[in-house]
Structure 1
Amino acid sequence: MDNRLFRDAMGKFATGVTVILTETDGDPHGMTANAFMSVSLDPKLVVISIKENARMLSKIQESKKFSVNILAAQQEDISMIFAGQLKDQQVSFGRLADMPVIPDALAQVACEVSAEYVEGDHTLFIGRVKDIKLEDGNPLLYFAGRYRNLEDLAEVSN
């Protein structure tokens, strides 16, 4: 099977959009990701997946912590900044459990790395959740290679 077929099949799974942040030497570092999921309620654990050639990989390995910021529908520009699609844009950060977070994200989840596993061309980081902050709103979604919102998906299904 070719890579395009695999990517197209995976793109049929609608996901939320997150920005993963960490901090080294007082400097925040981030990337847009949709490879995120909850793992356990007791203890509270999540997992993120970082590609082997991503700059974030060594940053998280160094800091041993990260935050997951689940973006709201109106935060597409934030996603594009951390995906490298919008250049020279400034982002302000909030703080949660001594971690940088994205203000107004639907959820901010601060984590300490409890384990890491190399699988294929990615490293999976298991994060022990230290703190959470929630906001009301609708999620930013990604489906079939495009940003979407809940109203878009309703139109796609009709």
Structure 2
Amino acid sequence: MRTALDLLYKLCGYLAAICLAGIGALIMAQIIGRFFGLLVPSANEIAGFLMAASSFLALAYSFRAGTHIRVNLFLLRLSPASRRYVDILCLVAGTVLMGYFAWYTWVLVQDSIRYKEVSDGLVPVPLAIPQAAMFAGILVLAIAFVDELVSVLRGNKPSYDDEADLVLPSEGH
């Protein structure tokens, strides 16, 4: 199970990177197209969709890697037992919030499909496509929260935990 979940997080990270590469390719196509008087229809709009997809798909990978912004000022001053309790509390809150966001993002995707909503640009992109990428990223982040919560409840150290604080090092370091 651990291997499958780690593969899922990495896959989402790779998809996020591909979306960023897609943005770069669109920008290059626009630049080159200007030299030849060619228009890349809806390039800005599609780049925006790719940026949103990249942001959401990278969430779980970033969470597991410990690269999300956390405020350690308070956490580094707690005893290990208190810190574990706060970690569990935060993971439960994160799981509930991401579950809620995933549910309502799924409802948004369903509504976009039901009402056949499309973007306003030259290329009518079905809005369910970028919304589905957003849903996938939030759902995988919810899975990552559950995964991390179960791991911490089993007594493991959180994967995102890095006690090194470059600004205010703790007394033990």
TM more than 0.5: no
For the superposition of Structure 1 and Structure 2, which TM-score range results when normalised by the shorter chain? under 0.3
TM-score, scaled to structure 1: 0.22
TM-score, scaled to structure 2: 0.21
Query: More helix by proportion, 1 or 2?
Result: 2
Query: More strand by proportion, 1 or 2?
Result: 1
